[in-house]
Amino acid sequence: MGSELIYRGHETQPASDSYSPKPDKPWASVTRAARYMLREQRLLFVLVGIAIATLIFTIIPTSRVPLPPHTTTPILDSITYFPIDAQNKFSYQHRLGIGSGNPTGKIPLGLKRKGLRIVVTGGAGFVGSHLVDRLIARGDSVIVVDNFFTGRKENVMHHFGNPNFELIRHDVVEPLLLEVDQIYHLACPASPVHYKFNPTNVVGTLNMLGLAKRVGARFLLTSTSEVYGDPLQHPQKETYWGNVNPIGVRSCYDEGKRTAETLTMDYHRGAGVEVRIARIFNTYGPRMCIDDGRVVSNFVAQALRKEPLTVYGDGKQTRSFQYVSDLVEGLMRLMEGEHVGPFNLGNPGEFTMLELAEVVQETIDPNARIEFRPNTEDDPHKRKPDITRAKELLGWEPKVSLRKGLPLMVSNFRQRIFGDHKEGSSSINKASSG
C-alpha cells in the first residue's frame, strides 16, 4: 500500500517540476515596516516625525534681511554699521561682555547701545562726579566707590533714585569684590593739603588692579603731570622720564603715582589686564574742594571773600589749566580707545601764577590785592603738556579756554560759599557745548 502510493505520486508529479517561492516585491521590507509602525507603533512614528521636522528647520539657514530702499551697497551679515569715527564717541569697542577680549568696534545701526557696568573710584570727588554724570547720561550703570575723604555726597546726590546708579562708602585700600566691565580709578587725594595727610594711593591702585584681573575688566589709571617732577624738558612729552625728588615733601604723591603707573604696566604685561594710563594736568571747574591748596581754587575763594590772592615765590612759575569737561571727554576717549598710553591730558595754554591772578581779578574783583609769600618746597618751575599724542591717537584736544571756564567755576564757588542759589552750579554742559 505504501509502495503504491509512492508510485502514484511519481506519476502525477513530473520529475522536472520543482518548488520555487514567490519573488519579493520591490521595497517590500520597507513597506512592511511602515505598515507595522502605522498599525502597532503610531506614537513612536509621530515622535520620530517631530524630531525630523525640528532637525530640518534647524539646519536651514535663515534668510537675509532685504536692503533698505536707499541702500546701494550690500550689507555684511544683514547689519549696517556706524562709521568708525562715530563708534569712537560712545561705543565700548573691545568687549561684548565681562572678561571677553574679542574686539568688535561696531554697533548695529538702529539698535540701542548696550550699557556697561562701570565702577568709578573717587566718584564723589571733583573730577569723578563729572565723569559719573557723563557715564549715566550715556546709559551706563555706574557704581561709585568713595570714602568721602575729599569727596562729597552733594556731588552725586542728583543721581539718588536712579536705578543705574549705586554708591558704596568704601576705602579702596581694602579689597572690594564687584562684577564690572570698566574701572576708572580716580581714588587718590590730589591736593597737597590732602595727599600729605593720607599718602596711601598705591595700595588702592593695587587692589583695583587685582579686581580688574579677577573679573576681566578694563582699568584706567588717572596718573598726574607730577610724575615729571620739576621737568628739565619743556613742554613735557610722555616719553620724558621726569626729574623727581624721591624724598621730598611732595614725593608721597609724585612717586606714588609713578609707582602706580609701574604696577599698572606690570599687570598689563604680566597678567594680561587691559589698562589705560592718563597723566592729568591742572584741572579746574565746579565742585572743586574749597581751600584745598590748589592755585585756582585758592585764588577764586580768596577773591570771593575779599582776601588777598596769595602768590608763592616770584609768581613766574607756569601752569596749564584745563576745564573739567575737557578732561572727562579725554578720559572717556582713552578708555574706549585701543591705546594703553600714557597720554597727557591737559590744556597747552600756559600761564604764570601772576597771569592767573590777573584773570581771577578780571573775573571776580578788579580791586583784589595780590600778596607774595615764600615759595613752597619742590614747587615745579614750568608745567606744560605736549598733547600731540592725544590729538593723533584719541582725536582729543581741550575746547574751553581759561577765560570761558573760570566764570562757571566762580558761579559754583559763590553758591557754595555764600549760599547764593540764584546761580546754579551745573554749568559744565554750557562750557563743553559752547
Annotated active-site residue in 253, 267, 284, 323: 253
Domain boundaries, given as residue ranges, for the chain: 115-433
Contacts of 421 (CB under 8 A, 6+ apart): 415
pLDDT value, residue 93:
43
CA 276 to CA 257: how far, in whole Å?
14
CB 400 within 8 A of CB 431: yes
Span 21-35, average pLDDT? 63
Q: What are phi and psi of 342, to 5 degrees?
A: -75, 155
Residue range 385-404: mean pLDDT, rounded = 95
Region class of 293: left (phi > 0), else alpha (psi between -120 and 50), else beta: left
Each residue of 29-69: pLDDT tens digit? Answer: 667 666 665 666 666 666 778 888 888 878 875 544 454 44
Q: How far is CA 354 from CA 309, 376, 432, in A?
A: 10, 16, 26
Length of the chain: 434
Cis, peptide link before residue 26, omega less than 30° from 0: no
At residue 89, the pLDDT reads 39
Summary mean pLDDT of the chain: 78
Instruction: Give, as one character, the DSSP assignment of residue 113.
Output: P
Is the model's pLDDT at 354 over the cut of 60?
A: yes
Q: Is 344 exposed, middle or buried (0-12, 13-18, 19+ CB in 10 A)?
A: buried
Residues of the chain with pLDDT > 90: what percent? 46
CA-based angle 133:135:140, to the nearest 5?
A: 130
Question: DSSP readout, 340-387?
Answer: ---EEES---EEEHHHHHHHHHHHT-TTPPEEEEPPPTT--S---B--
Average pLDDT over residues 372-387: 82
Write the CA distances from 225 to 118, 181, 190, 240, 343, integer angstroms: 25, 27, 11, 11, 10
d(CA 344, CA 282): 11
Quick count: other Cβ atoms within 10 Å of Cβ 379? 13
State the pLDDT confidence band at 424, using cuts at 50, 70 and 90.
very low
pLDDT band at 85; cut points 50, 70, 90: very low
Is the per-residue pLDDT at 26 higher than 70? no
Residue 229's DSSP bridge partners are 243
Nearest Cα to 172, choosing from 80, 260, 40, 60? 260
Peptide bond into 246 cis (omega under 30): no
The larger pLDDT score, comparing residue 9 to residue 164, is at 164
Higher pLDDT, 32 or 97: 32
Instruction: List Cβ neighbours of 140 (8 Å cut-off, separation of 6 or more).
Output: 115, 116, 117, 118, 164
Confidence category of residue 101, pLDDT binned at 50, 70, 90: very low
> Could you write out the DSSP letters of every residue in 205-261?
HHHHHHHHHHHT-EEEEEEEGGGGBS-SSSSBPTT---B--TTSTTHHHHHHHHHHH
3-state secondary structure of 279: strand
Residue 138 clears pLDDT 50, i.e. is over it: yes
Residue 362 cell numbers, joined: 578780571
pLDDT at 88 over 50: no
Shortest CA distance to 314 belongs to which of 355, 274, 272, 268? 355
More confident residue, 273 or 194: 273
What is the Cα 353 distance to its own chain's centre?
34
pLDDT of residue 83: 40
Share of the chain above pLDDT 70, in %: 70
Q: What is the pLDDT of residue 382?
A: 84
Q: Tell me the pTM.
A: 0.70
Condensed to tens digits (0 to 9), the pLDDT of residues 173-232 reads: 898 999 999 999 998 865 554 444 455 567 888 899 999 999 999 999 999 888 888 888
- For the cut 90, the answer to whether the pLDDT of residue 103 exceeds it is no
Asked about 92 being catalytic, the answer comes back as no
Q: What CATH fold (topology level) applies to the domain 115-433? A: Rossmann fold (3.40.50)
> 227-236, 386-395, 403-412: lowest mean pLDDT where?
227-236
